[in-house]
């Protein structure tokens, strides 16, 4: 699902009108927008357990861009998180894992903020919460080509699924 399609659909469901022509600045920074609105964050924070939290988007799985592939060890799930906050990323992962039980999760366009510490914190959170899952992440560039990082992740994930040579 593309951000443009998402925002148009969200505005239609809320009864909002779309502006006549988006400015170049709006188009340029559209990828920096976070998924959770204030109302969604209130719903998410009201629940102490991430698996109990639901939003309009998690009720309708169409908001999750998911590609399930039947491979012997399990399913691969690919998700473009569009640079969402770590808080939202945690809930996206909880939803994907709870619903699909994948063996591999591929996250694209992950933006962790500046500094090595933020990236380490994100990796530690993922390891603590979902250490049994294999995860591949590509950093978001903001203006990178769509699909380029996905292709690299698919190659890595499929290499990970290949049978191990006898040792």
Burial class of 77 by CB neighbour count within 10 A (0 to 12, 13 to 18, 19+): buried
3-class DSSP state of 79: strand
Using one digit for the tens of pLDDT, what is the confidence trace for 67-82? 344 333 457 777 777 7
Give the tens place of pLDDT for each residue, 135-152: 777 776 555 555 555 566
Global pTM? Answer: 0.43
Q: How far apart are CA 104 and CA 81, in angstroms?
A: 16
Q: What is the pLDDT of residue 61?
A: 41
Q: How many helices (H) and strands (E) does the chain have?
A: 7, 4
What size, in residues, is the chain?
167
Average pLDDT taken over every residue of the chain: 60
State residue 127 phi and psi, 5-degree precision.
-65, -40
């Amino acid at each position: 699902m593309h951000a443009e399609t998402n925002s148009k659909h969200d505005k239609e469901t809320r009864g909002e009108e779309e502006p006549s022509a988006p400015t170049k600045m709006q188009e340029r920074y559209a990828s920096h927008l976070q998924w959770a609105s204030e109302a969604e964050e209130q719903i998410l924070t009201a629940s102490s357990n991430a698996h109990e939290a639901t939003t309009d988007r998690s009720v309708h799985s169409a908001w999750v861009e998911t590609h399930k592939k039947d491979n012997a060890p399990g399913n691969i799930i690919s998700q473009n998180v569009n640079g969402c906050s770590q808080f939202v990323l945690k809930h996206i992962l909880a939803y994907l894992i709870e619903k699909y039980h994948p063996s591999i999760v591929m996250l694209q366009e992950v933006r962790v903020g500046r500094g090595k510490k933020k990236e380490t914190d994100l990796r530690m959170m993922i390891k603590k919460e979902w250490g049994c899952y294999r995860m591949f992440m590509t950093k978001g560039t903001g203006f990178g080509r769509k699909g380029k990082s996905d292709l690299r992740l698919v190659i890595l994930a499929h290499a990970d699924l290949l049978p191990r040579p006898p040792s």
